[in-house]
Amino acid sequence: MLALPPDLALRALDSAPDALIIIDGSGLIAAANRQVTALFGYSHDEVIAKPVEHLIPERFRAEHRTDRQGYMRDPHSRPMGAGLELFGIRKDGTEFPVEISLSPIEDESGTLVAAAIRDVTERKRIETELAVQLEDMRRFHELSSRLIEAADLPNVLEEVLDAVIGVQDADFGNIQLRNTESGTLSIVAQRGFSPAFLEYFHSVDASHETACGRALRAGARVIIDDIEQDDAYLPYRGIAAQEGYRAVQSAPIRGHDGITTGMLSTYFRAPHRPSARKLQLTDVYTRLLAELIRRIGDEDTVRRARDEANRANQAKSRFLATASHDLRQPLQTISLLNGTLRRRSLDDCTRIEALAHQDEAIGAMSRLLNALLDISKLESGAVKPDPSDFAVTALFEELRHEFAGLADEKGLSFRVTPSEDSIHSDPSLVGQVLRNLVSNAIKYTQAGWVALRCLHDGPAVVRIEVLDTGIGIPDEKLRYIYDEFYQIGVPPNATRDGYGLGLSIVQRIVNLLDAKLDVQSEVGKGSLFALSLPAAPAAARPACAEADARSQLRPVHARILLVEDDPAVLNATRMLLRIEGYQVSTALSMAEALEQAAIDSRIDLLVTDYHLQAEETGTQVIAALRTALGRPLKAILMTGDTSSDVGKLRADPLLRIASKPVHAEELLTLLQALLASN
């Protein structure tokens, strides 16, 4: 076995970003960098002089020895196993997918092979999740297209029920329709239940403590994770045991007037709670079901709804085509750039250029994912308005600072008319609406100006207008501008500026605020979007001067405790914060966080992930540290969770929530503002 000089191993191997091993001609590991220990769990001494097959699952070892011997007869730089699924095995026996690049090294004693190994578990997970979501949307599109012409209500109900049972991986299911006179629910379609069950629940009303009875009473979904732990379900446990189910969820079917017309329930043999994504898909099906029931019952409504459903199907088709294209394109870019960066002969200029392009691709994917997450949170009810009185002028000044430079780059004038009005609404959500509108106005205006002004629609209503001299919108296209991924004159798979999600988000926020948004447009002359909001009963205190003063403050040498159970995310976040000058200590769990606090209680701020290992949550870490320190610790909670539980946390004045993926500048700005706050 060839021994490499220690200085070469330290400088060349440990500086590599990936796990890197060097193998001699007999297949033994001659050297390994410290990333090998982090990836495989072996100490340095445990891999040196071991066959490289030691790091490969046993079922692949014999084939690998043959392939390795063939490679040594014609060694050259290439990816290993092109087109194949490759796996490594850790010391604890767990397997994980990898990518491996091979490069020969000529030495006076013979030929060595350098193998760079990268864990691609997270990338595979994202690809799998994307494929599942696209398949779910394809199935919905196919079902809705088929049922659009259906006139047989029992068949429609059964097809939708089967689809939802499949989506949720449920064992049983039923659909009930509500009698408008008595208010009771009766089963009209079912899968998997006995005659005894159907007789027992032949009629259910809002007084029943079943899941469907509670959902009817509340007008919202009810989930019973485990009926054996639900005291109110005690009267029905006997029939549940007879049928063999332990968990149930019931979702109301509501008409356009908001009145519950029926109930869709799914049942599970074991204690269970469907994921947020599956519940969101269920809601899509219940809306489809409500629409189909309504159309089948009224011929005139059928004709009107057919056009709408066809348009919805086109929107879903556009979603499938565009989402697939716009997510795969940056993934393809990153994959190719990754291959470029792995080349040993890369010069500094090429490396810098490749990193810049990689940042652009990551930024494009992050913007699309953030927009999709915004829509998901709004659809799931996780976003709740927090109305207050605030001055229009403060919001206008924020928008002026944010967009004046962008307008100037395009040679446009950005006109902001001062206003002394005040509004009673959620300032954050109103700001999000106006940012989308102003951004769109600048994007679609090639010459002239974009303006922002405030008028009145009577004494109780404030009307904020965004005007431009842009390309305008044809009358026949106005009805489509709020559809997801819709951009006028842009094919779904074309290279585009933006994703066509901004106005879809705007419409959802406007509905959430119970506000009103009007649009007027003329092709070639420009557009006007007018947002009508309730006026504040008294002028809100102007906060822009105070906010500007605070923004100039930057706590120096602040102590940050970072809690994150993903080593890659933890290391990246720690590196970013340390470069910015913060003192950072880290922990992988609540126990480690409490140990850090015991060692040094001078913690200025906590940054924690929401979902940690062993079912721990970031909120538990925050509460435990505040108790241990005996003071109200400021905290930032990073999460990709869109459930309403996370939305409720926003009431904590010392807590800020950052939705993943979190851009570096966004995190630093949020951290700086929270540290500077009183």
- Is 125 inside a domain boundary? no
Where do we find the tokens 């990518």? 99
Q: Any residues with CB less than 8 A from the CB of 572 and at least 6 apart, and which?
A: none
How many CA atoms are closer than 13 Å to the CA of 340, on its beta-carbon side?
A: 18
Q: Report the number of distinct structural domains present in the chain.
A: 5
Same-domain pairing of 442 and 512:
yes
- Is 319 inside a domain boundary? no
Give the pLDDT score at 667.
Answer: 86
- Is 134 inside a domain boundary? no
Last residue of a domain, one of 545, 575, 594: 545
- Is 99 inside a domain boundary? yes
Give the pLDDT score at 624.
Answer: 93
Last residue of a domain, one of 523, 545, 567: 545
Question: Quick one: which of 219, 154, 234, 151 has its CA closest to 183?
Answer: 219
**93: containing domain:** 6-119
Same-domain pairing of 425 and 537:
yes
Same-domain pairing of 538 and 558:
no
Classify strands 559-563 and 526-534 as parallel, antiparallel or unpaired: unpaired
In CATH, what number is assigned to the domain containing residue 665?
3.40.50.2300
Same-domain pairing of 79 and 191:
no
Question: Quick one: which of 480, 474, 579, 462 has its CA closest to 522?
Answer: 474
Give the pLDDT score at 504.
Answer: 73
Same-domain pairing of 423 and 519:
yes
Give the pLDDT score at 459.
Answer: 75
DSSP letters along 443-496, please?
A: HT--SSEEEEEEEESSTTEEEEEEEE-S----GGGGGGTTSTT--TT--TTS--
Give the pLDDT score at 73.
Answer: 85
Quick: pLDDT tens for 597-616: 988 888 999 999 988 888 88
Give the pLDDT score at 255.
Answer: 81
Give the pLDDT score at 148.
Answer: 55
- Is 643 inside a domain boundary? yes
- Is 309 inside a domain boundary? no
Same-domain pairing of 290 and 160:
yes
Give the pLDDT score at 576.
Answer: 85
The series of mean pLDDT values per 10 residues for the chain, 678 residues long, is 54 77 90 89 91 92 88 84 81 92 83 89 75 65 60 76 90 90 88 89 90 93 95 92 94 86 94 88 84 64 49 51 52 62 63 67 58 56 77 88 86 89 88 86 90 83 91 76 53 44 75 86 89 76 39 59 87 85 90 90 92 88 92 88 59 82 82 83
- Is 359 inside a domain boundary? yes
Same-domain pairing of 541 and 563:
no
Where do we find the tokens 């001494």? 45
In CATH, what number is assigned to the domain containing residue 256?
3.30.450.40
Same-domain pairing of 415 and 507:
yes
Same-domain pairing of 612 and 657:
yes
- Is 128 inside a domain boundary? no
- What interhelical angle do 590-599 and 618-629 show, nearest 10? 30
Same-domain pairing of 519 and 644:
no
The answer to whether 164 and 173 have CB atoms below 8 angstroms apart is yes
In CATH, what number is assigned to the domain containing residue 425?
3.30.565.10
Same-domain pairing of 405 and 358:
no
Same-domain pairing of 427 and 332:
no
Amino acid at 171: D
Give the pLDDT score at 522.
Answer: 87
- What interhelical angle do 276-296 and 153-168 show, nearest 10? 180
The answer to whether 495 and 333 have CB atoms below 8 angstroms apart is no
Rounded distance between C-alpha atoms, residue 363 and residue 357, angstroms: 10
Rounded distance between C-alpha atoms, residue 435 and residue 61, angstroms: 57
